[in-house]
C-alpha cells in the first residue's frame, strides 16, 4: 500500500482543508460502494484510493465536535462547502456577523472574537485578532487550531489497515508519543483524550488519580500538547490531531475550556524548551505513523492482520483534486 502525504507549508484556510478532506473521504466511500456492487455482480474490482495524511497549519479557528454542536439546524457537513458570506471589513457588518453566528455555550463568552467560515474557494485575508468558527462532525468538544500548530488529518480505510476505531485512536496517540520521544520529551495518555506531558516543574509522573486537593499536585497535573478527534463513516476516518509546536496557540486556548476540561492547561514543544519547526514535526509524525502501522497492525512483518505501508509519497493539492 502507498500512503499519500500532502503538506501545506504556509498558513491556509480551514475551509480549504475541509473541502479537500471531504473530497478524499467521498472517494473512499464511493470505492466501498463500488466494491460492494462488484462483489454482488462478480465484476472486476476497482483499485482502492490511496490513504492520505494532510498536514497543515490553519489561520486561527475554533472548532466544535459532536458533543458541542451549536443550537442550529445547519449541518456541520454543509459548512465546509456552503458559500457562507464572509465578514465585511465594515464595523457594522462585522458586528452583525457576531450577532447572527450560531454558537454553542462554550464559545458564547468569546463571540466578539469569532467570524463565520470563509467560502470555498476564497483568497480573502482573515482579519487579524479574529478566529473562524467551524462546527464539525469529529468526536470531542471545543478546541482551537492555528499558527504554531501542526494539524494532521488522516483519511483512511480502517479495515484495510486492520484497525478498530479504538486502535485508530491509539495509533494517532502513539505516533505523537513517538514524535515527542524523538525530541527527548516523554508523552503520555491519561483518562482524558489527547496526548499529555509533565510540566517542566514536575520531577516525576503523577499517579493515575490526579490530585488530592493539594495545590502543588494541581500545579503538576499533566499539560496537554496534542488534541485528538476523529470522525468515522463506514470505517473511513477523517480529522485527526492538533500538535502544539510553539507557544502561539496558548493565548487562544486560555479563552476557552478546551475539550471541556476545566482547569487543565495546554503546552507546546517550545513551552518544554524544545525548538522545532512545523514541517519537521509533520515529517516525523508521518514517519512514526507508518512505523506504527507496519509494526503493530500489518499482517506481513507485523503483529496484525492489515496491509502494510510500503511507500510514502508527496503529492500536491492540484494532483489530489485532479484524480
Catalytic positions, please?
Answer: 259
The residue among 170 and 79 whose pLDDT is bigger is: 170
157-167 pLDDT, tens digit each: 999 999 999 99
Domain that holds residue 142: 2-9+24-69+132-205+217-322
Please check whether residue 88 lies inside any domain of the structure.
no
Identify any residues that bridge with 155 across adjacent strands, giving them in sequence order: 52
pLDDT of residue 30: 93
Please check whether residue 15 lies inside any domain of the structure.
no
DSSP 213-257: S-HHHHHTSPEEEEEEEEEEETTEEEEEEEEE-SSTTHHHHHTS-
Helix (H, G, I), strand (E, B) or coil at 114: strand
Q: How far is CA 160 from CA 50, 123, 150, 252, in A?
A: 11, 37, 26, 38
Q: Is 306 annotated as a binding residue?
A: no
Domain with residue 186: its CATH number is 3.30.930.10
pLDDT of residue 59: 96
Please check whether residue 313 lies inside any domain of the structure.
yes
Helix (H, G, I), strand (E, B) or coil at 133: strand
The residue among 295 and 210 whose pLDDT is bigger is: 295
How large is the average pLDDT for residues 248-267? 83
Please check whether residue 78 lies inside any domain of the structure.
no
Please check whether residue 158 lies inside any domain of the structure.
yes
Q: Is 194 annotated as a binding residue?
A: no
Q: Grid coordinates in use for 224? A: 496537554
Helix (H, G, I), strand (E, B) or coil at 314: strand
CA distance 276 to 284: 11
Please check whether residue 292 lies inside any domain of the structure.
yes
Q: Is 145 annotated as a binding residue?
A: yes
Please check whether residue 302 lies inside any domain of the structure.
yes
Q: Is 169 annotated as a binding residue?
A: no
77-89 pLDDT, tens digit each: 444 443 344 444 4
Contacts (Cβ under 8 Å, ≥6 apart) of 119: 15, 82, 83, 84, 85, 86
The residue among 255 and 208 whose pLDDT is bigger is: 255
Q: Is the pLDDT of residue 60 over 60?
A: yes
How large is the average pLDDT for residues 192-216? 62
Please check whether residue 267 lies inside any domain of the structure.
yes
pLDDT of residue 101: 86
293-313 pLDDT, tens digit each: 999 999 887 788 899 999 999
Q: Is 241 annotated as a binding residue?
A: yes
Number of domains in the chain: 1
Amino acid at each position: 500500500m502507498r500512503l499519500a502525504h500532502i503538506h501545506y507549508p504556509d498558513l491556509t484556510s480551514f475551509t480549504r482543508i475541509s473541502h479537500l478532506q471531504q473530497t478524499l473521504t467521498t472517494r473512499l466511500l464511493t470505492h466501498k460502494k463500488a466494491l460492494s456492487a462488484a462483489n454482488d455482480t462478480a465484476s472486476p474490482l476497482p483499485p482502492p484510493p490511496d490513504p492520505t495524511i494532510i498536514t497543515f497549519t490553519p489561520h486561527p479557528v475554533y472548532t466544535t465536535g459532536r458533543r458541542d454542536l451549536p443550537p442550529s439546524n445547519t449541518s456541520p457537513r454543509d459548512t465546509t462547502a456552503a458559500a457562507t458570506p464572509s465578514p465585511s471589513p465594515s464595523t457594522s457588518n462585522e458586528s452583525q456577523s457576531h450577532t447572527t453566528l450560531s454558537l454553542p455555550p462554550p464559545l458564547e463568552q468569546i463571540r466578539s472574537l469569532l467570524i463565520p467560515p470563509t467560502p470555498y474557494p476564497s483568497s480573502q485575508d482573515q482579519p487579524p485578532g479574529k478566529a473562524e468558527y467551524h462546527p464539525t462532525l469529529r468526536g470531542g468538544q471545543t478546541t482551537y487550531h492555528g499558527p504554531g500548530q501542526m494539524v494532521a488529518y488522516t483519511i483512511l480505510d480502517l479495515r484495510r489497515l486492520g484497525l478498530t476505531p479504538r486502535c485508530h485512536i491509539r495509533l494517532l496517540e502513539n505516533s505523537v508519543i513517538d514524535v515527542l520521544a524523538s525530541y527527548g520529551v516523554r508523552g503520555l495518555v491519561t483518562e482524558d483524550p489527547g496526548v499529555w506531558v509533565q510540566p517542566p516543574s514536575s520531577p516525576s509522573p503523577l499517579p493515575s488519580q490526579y490530585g488530592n486537593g493539594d495545590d502543588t499536585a494541581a500545579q503538576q497535573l499533566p499539560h496537554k500538547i496534542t488534541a485528538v478527534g476523529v470522525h468515522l463513516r463506514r470505517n473511513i476516518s477523517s480529522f485527526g490531531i492538533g500538535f502544539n509546536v510553539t507557544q502561539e496557540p496558548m493565548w487562544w486556548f486560555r479563552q476557552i475550556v478546551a475539550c471541556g476540561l476545566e482547569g487543565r492547561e495546554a503546552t507546546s514543544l517550545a513551552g518544554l524548551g524544545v525548538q522545532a519547526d512545523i514541517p519537521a514535526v509533520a515529517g516525523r509524525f508521518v514517519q512514526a505513523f507508518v512505523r506504527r502501522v507496519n509494526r503493530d497492525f500489518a499482517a506481513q512483518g507485523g503483529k496484525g492482520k492489515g496491509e502494510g505501508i510500503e511507500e510514502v509519497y508527496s503529492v500536491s493539492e492540484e494532483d489530489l483534486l485532479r484524480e
